[in-house]
Chain A
Amino acid sequence: MVILELIWFQNLITGVYIALCLSLLLAFIRLLKGPTLPDRVVALDLIAYIVICFIATYTIATGKEAFLDAAIVLALIAFLGTTAFARYVQQVGHTKKPDESL
């Protein structure tokens, strides 16, 4: 496609990648630190959204449309995972030491 050959558009894609990497780093730090279990679940949810953004940006950057299916599947998996974790949190309760309860 014509749009992919523009130099400034490639630079912009790189900038978008950098912003998404920074978001992924922040969400991952929250996943590691998160004092309670629901904090970690929210961080995991956000990581799934960020990876969907990554896949969409990569699809734009390469022009290969097959990657978009992975984004759909990832959205589905993220929703199912969050729902399952919510059930788990509701039954077990949050804990400050996840190693003992998991």
Chain B
Amino acid sequence: MNEIITSIFLVMGALFTLVAAIGVYRLPDILMKMHASTKAGTLGAGLILVALMITFDDIGVVTRALATIIFLVLTAPIAAHLIGRAAYVSGVKFWKGTIIDEMQDLYVKKANDKKRGGGL
């Protein structure tokens, strides 16, 4: 019974990771890529670590795996938010289907700033 649950979690984690990679490869826009990478990547790693927790009965291993999961869940949204905000502020062009830009007036995009000389 134990190995069946482990297998289900392993396969689900691998599939989620694969979906994340396909999303990062195929999606047109930095924000969409970030979305695919963070959500599916965290879930994939989390599910595989849950499979690891089920496989080992040792309390030390379970605690370490749980700590890794908690750390991933805490830090992945922060990292995604930071990189998405940095991309927006630095003026990356978005997909042509993106029609709503709610942060338009909040930041001065650096790409529109003619005085900036580009590069360092």
A57, closest chain B residue (CB): B48
Instruction: Give the number of residue pairs across the A-B interface with Cβ within 8 Å.
Output: 185
Query: Which applies to chain A's interface (DSSP): helix, strand, loop or mixed?
Result: helix
Distance in angstroms between the alpha carbons of A9 and B52 in the assembled complex: 14
Contact B37 A46 (CB under 8 A): yes
Contact B119 A95 (CB under 8 A): yes
Interface size on A, residues (CB 8 A): 56
Contact B87 A94 (CB under 8 A): yes
* B11 part of interface (Cβ distance < 8 Å): yes
Determine which of A9, A59, A94 lies in contact with B91 in the assembled complex, contact meaning CB atoms within 8 Å.
A94
19 chain-A/chain-B pairs, Cβ below 8 angstroms: A3-B3, A19-B17, A23-B22, A29-B25, A38-B86, A42-B33, A42-B37, A43-B24, A45-B38, A45-B80, A60-B10, A65-B58, A71-B68, A79-B78, A83-B78, A89-B90, A90-B90, A92-B119, A100-B119
